[in-house]
Amino acid sequence: MPQRLKIAAAGLGRMGKRHALNFLNRTPRAELVAAFTPDAKEREWAKTNLEPYGVTLYDDYLKMLEHPGLNAVVIGTATTVHAEEAIQAMQKNLHVLCEKPLSTNLDICRQVVAEAKRRPHLKVMCGFSRRFDASYRDAFNKTQKGQIGRGVFVDMSVHDIDLTLWFFGDDIVPKSVSAHGIRAVQPALEKYNDFDNAVGIVEFWGGKIAYYYCSRMMAHGQEDTTEIIGTEGKLSVNCNPQINLVNHYHPEGITRKVPADYYGRFEMAFVQESNEFTEACLENKPLPMKLDNAVKAVEIGAALQEALVTGRQIRFDETGKRQKTSRL
């Protein structure tokens, strides 16, 4: 068993750069040995920020997979090639940490899961970063200890249907899906069958409901608010978002700054993710999430999007099979 995980970074866009630097500088048991990008500007960035530290740069993904001694790949490329590159890495006997989603196509998602099941010795994980956030983990632990009774309602933004599967349980089965939206400031989204503000409700068998509100209009910054309401209490995560502990008292009132983007809120979750993935690979420990959940999250998301566009409720039986017609 290697003492350090030799890992390569695929893709050096905004998120790919972050993964590469986290494995290079903030994951002591990992060694970033290679990086791939087809983009010339990204390779220029890598020549300054990665190559001087012993990272070999590639403009061909398959050639990078042949790098001597490579153990794993972190995939931060475009969503359209996530699945293809994950499968190619597994076929080279490499562990895989892939940015979400595996694909927006359900059949392709299932291909990745099937490939991983053929190679159970490999660690293959889809990176839902909120599962590594200290606040969400604290909230999850409290629900597991029964501190708010039985959870019956979750309120969150678009990113995490996955959080629903985590808090409600991997085996939770949708009963109905409905969604509504408006185009408040971006009417051009109509030609894409999309909206700038939307709400979705997923009812699950067993008496639990998830409510999602998503918006493209967060002018104040990154919010990511979650509530878990149970029979004996409630937990909230980030209901008063702020970038630090400073409040500004001035004639117009009391204000505080909010993180400007997703990474500003979840930077340390990504660091935790890289370290736990590395530990799982080196010590053959279970991953903190099931790869099947990455498919289930896309299934629910696709149903929500369909309900949003068609205005029709979608219903499922207790096995999760979609019903042809709605029941009253």
| Mean pLDDT of the region 227-244 | 94
Report percent pLDDT > 90 for the chain: 88
Whether residue 206 is predicted with pLDDT greater than 70 in this model: the reply is: yes
Strand order across the 151-156 sheet? 234-237, 226-230, 151-156, 208-215, 197-204, 174-182, 314-315
Separation CA 125–CA 293 (nearest Å): 10
Residue listed under structure tokens 């990086």: 35
The DSSP result for 265-288, as a single string, is: HHHHHHHHHHHHHHHHHHHTPPPS
From first CA to last CA, the distance across the chain in angstroms is 58
| Mean pLDDT of the region 222-243 | 93
Structure tokens at 4: 């350090």
Assign 2 a pLDDT band (cuts: 50, 70, 90): low
Say what the pLDDT of residue 158 is: 54
User: Pairing state of beta strands 56-58 and 30-36?
Assistant: parallel
Helix (H, G, I), strand (E, B), or coil: what is residue 51? helix
Whether residue 288 is predicted with pLDDT greater than 80 in this model: the reply is: yes
| Mean pLDDT of the region 194-206 | 94
Whether residue 130 is predicted with pLDDT greater than 80 in this model: the reply is: yes
| Mean pLDDT of the region 300-316 | 94
Whether residue 150 is predicted with pLDDT greater than 50 in this model: the reply is: yes
Whether residue 156 is predicted with pLDDT greater than 70 in this model: the reply is: no
| Mean pLDDT of the region 141-149 | 95
Contact 33, 50 (CB under 8 A): no
Whether residue 53 is predicted with pLDDT greater than 80 in this model: the reply is: yes
Say what the pLDDT of residue 285 is: 96
Whether residue 154 is predicted with pLDDT greater than 80 in this model: the reply is: no
Whether residue 107 is predicted with pLDDT greater than 90 in this model: the reply is: yes
The DSSP result for 165-205, as a single string, is: HHHH-TT--EEEEEEEEE-SS-GGGGGGT--SEEEEEEEET
The DSSP result for 26-44, as a single string, is: S-TTEEEEEEE-S-HHHHH
Least Cα distance to 86 among 51, 54, 122 occurs for 122
What domains can you pick out in the chain, each with its CATH number?
5-127 (3.40.50.720), 152-221+260-315 (3.30.360.10)
Assign 241 a pLDDT band (cuts: 50, 70, 90): very high
